[in-house]
Structure 1
């Protein structure tokens, strides 16, 4: 018998779209396992629930900065769930307590672990400098952490064990940072890439971008400017070099064997970039507000030789195996895997 499952998330220009996209993809995987009674409770502008609806799921929309009282009223109207899965920046313990009132089991996906936790299970798909908040969380809360639990979208399954021969020269570069307002990161990447006329860049802009495309075209008239795409995996795999955010895209670059440079586009990505650089060798330009086109150009120059790119690809690939989604599904619905 299928479980009644609620996904709680938030997205938009200030939050980014990563959590929304990932939960939608994970819901698809749940459906593949026979879990068909799925509902979304999403916070953000109208584009966010519209996206979930376009994926075929019923959705209840909440305004940005919704109060816990109003959220409780929405939950009351929805009724009780067997399982609630929450992924959002504001997954604090008060919200966890609220969700526990309406569910038999509450699971939090949190790649930052910067809250205290009173839920049943917390899954962190990143490595952090430390996991200090575990010590002040409920002893009844179980934690599973590390890159082994990073949940790739289904499209990335095809790259598990797939070989890739790198081109001898860098002729194409992909620049993608997600769905938030990351204009300064895009502009600095454009100014850096303008120093490499042999490279044709492609910029993938999120729904929050406004005049950014025109500004990028003024710097790089030959660049390709795209909106949100549905084949990010293929675009990474077919690019000689990528400049990406330090959230999900760094790991998606790793699994597709794409030589990449990270830029932390939000404050919380700074330790994520530092850890992945330390453990997987991927180049990091630091925070988008602090890095410069000169620093980015220097990192690009270091990755021009094929040997350097091959080395960074092999090092990054040791950190991820692409099987995180299967591990999480087994934790929730089946036998645990190693």
Structure 2
């Protein structure tokens, strides 16, 4: 089971729910049971979620007398209650379910909420693009473009967290990849406009853009105007569309990929539809309608992927949009270049990549072994203190940082110890430790929480044993808690044989190898 915690409202917009729905549909198509937990703010999209046949749990409507975190006042007010109260309501739903993944997409939630709900889900994923607060999660997805690819989450997530960063993981519906396959190369000329400023568009940039398009010099252009069902300016927009020839209004559409494919140029906001336009090579004139859109839109503008006109509330934004549109009408080669670059940046398979990771994990054949170094100390510490690891250990007490740091440095310098990290294309998967004892090596290993359940144990140990074997002939010894049946099966599968040991409550296994 996969459970999403996400909201939509007139303040939040629709983008968070829409990208979660995209991922949810991919997960369901792959066989997962998917559930949503939402709060019914004004402008919510709960009916849309239910109409797509997802089970939905609705939290209370919230309260208005709670204290907002002053350090993040802009987003904290989006929740409608405190993080603690929201977590308590969410936990009541999670109890007994223990989902494989809990996925949260909410700017008002951070590590405080995540630490409270963690015991009620096997794995926790965060979808974010602000990089302005700490998270306690196993997986973080940020699909935004960052010029130069600077790491933004190094100090904001645990070292054991896997980060999926960049437009290659953009959550697009399958229709975009299919439309891309049928798409003919764009020649850069402009005859049809695609106009969309988000599902809510509180500043009515849609109406302002229609006014710009109504100038006589653009009267020959066809226009498809798209709005969400909760757009507060729907009536005035419908009237403006009716007055302008060659213009059609589309409300809460399902065929947005088709409309983008037919267009030659987009007038639009800088939200998640940016990646949809890039995937289909649609040149864009962008007005950002929220502060969180500015950074990546500016980077895309500076690197030639789109043209940015500024913020929606800027004085003279209509004049700026008019100027950009006039320029785009004659800059045929620029339009063509944007189209080509956008398609290189986003291929349309990001949602499939994320779904595959969540349900199947990394390709076992892609795993590689490397020797651990000083930089891995904190990573090993986080892995060692993960609750399931402590539960499987003979000494289940939490490990303090200073003793661990001293121990790790000693082990790195110890000629009779080998510390290995198992890497994948997505990041470190786990660790294997070999310690020489008499005529053999004692094995200890663990796999990161986000990589469990994918039958990686045998592969992790197999390639680690081969790495050690390449150094010298050896005999391996494994000591496993009697109740740790999964580890016992892995060692037996690898050819270890059980032998009598001295410790009660444990099973002992041995494997002799030669070069």
Query: TM > 0.5 between the two?
Result: yes
Determine the structure 1 residue equivalent to 2:35: 39
Q: What CA distance in whole angstroms lies between the structure 2 residues aligned with 1:48 and 1:184?
A: 19
Determine the structure 1 residue equivalent to 2:293: 269
Q: What CA distance in whole angstroms lies between the structure 1 residues aligned with 2:346 and 2:188?
A: 25
User: Which residue, out of 307, 310, 321, partners 2:333?
Assistant: 307
Matched, 1:200 2:222: yes
Determine the structure 2 residue equivalent to 1:279: 303
Counterpart of 2:100 in 1: which secondary structure?
A: strand
Counterpart of 2:140 in 1: which secondary structure?
A: strand
Q: Residues 280 and 330 of structure 1: is their aligned pair in 2 closer, same or farther, counting only changes over 3 Å?
A: farther
Q: What CA distance in whole angstroms lies between the structure 1 residues aligned with 2:203 and 2:135?
A: 34
Q: Which moved more, 1:316-325 or 1:178-187?
A: 178-187
Q: What CA distance in whole angstroms lies between the structure 1 residues aligned with 2:323 and 2:265?
A: 14
Counterpart of 1:81 in 2: which secondary structure?
A: coil
Q: Residues 87 and 281 of structure 1: is their aligned pair in 2 closer, same or farther, counting only changes over 3 Å?
A: same
Determine the structure 2 residue equivalent to 1:217: 239
Matched, 1:175 2:195: yes
Q: What CA distance in whole angstroms lies between the structure 1 residues aligned with 2:302 and 2:169?
A: 19
Matched, 1:156 2:182: no
- 1:156, 1:322 within 8 Å by CA — same for their partners in 2? yes
Q: What CA distance in whole angstroms lies between the structure 1 residues aligned with 2:108 and 2:21?
A: 18
Matched, 1:295 2:320: yes
- 1:179, 1:208 within 8 Å by CA — same for their partners in 2? yes
Determine the structure 1 residue equivalent to 2:91: 75
Q: Which moved more, 1:216-225 or 1:265-274?
A: 216-225
* Unmatched runs of 5 consecutive residues or more in structure 1: none
How far is the alpha carbon of 1:133 from its aligned partner? 4.1
Determine the structure 2 residue equivalent to 1:103: 121
Task: Name which structure has the greater RCO, CA cutoff 8 Å, separation 6+.
Answer: 1
How far is the alpha carbon of 1:317 from its aligned partner? 1.8
Counterpart of 1:183 in 2: which secondary structure?
A: coil
Q: Residues 164 and 268 of structure 1: is their aligned pair in 2 closer, same or farther, counting only changes over 3 Å?
A: same
Q: What CA distance in whole angstroms lies between the structure 2 residues aligned with 1:31 and 1:42?
A: 19
Determine the structure 2 residue equivalent to 1:332: 358
Determine the structure 1 residue equivalent to 2:269: 245
CA-to-aligned-CA distance 1:248-287 (integer Å, 9 cap, x gap): 1111111112221111111110112112223342111121
- 1:178, 1:205 within 8 Å by CA — same for their partners in 2? yes
User: Which residue, out of 138, 141, 146, partners 2:166?
Assistant: 146
How far is the alpha carbon of 1:57 from its aligned partner? 1.2
CA RMSD of aligned residues (A): 2.3
Counterpart of 2:58 in 1: which secondary structure?
A: strand
Q: How does 1:58-137 map to 2 (within 5 A)?
A: 58-62=55-59, 63-64=61-62, 65-67=80-82, 68-79=84-95, 80-128=98-146, 130-137=150-157
* Unmatched runs of 5 consecutive residues or more in structure 2: 63-79, 364-424, 426-515
Structure 2-normalised TM-score?
A: 0.61
- 1:178, 1:206 within 8 Å by CA — same for their partners in 2? yes
Matched, 1:323 2:349: yes
Q: What CA distance in whole angstroms lies between the structure 1 residues aligned with 2:183 and 2:294?
A: 30
- 2:87, 2:117 within 8 Å by CA — same for their partners in 1? no
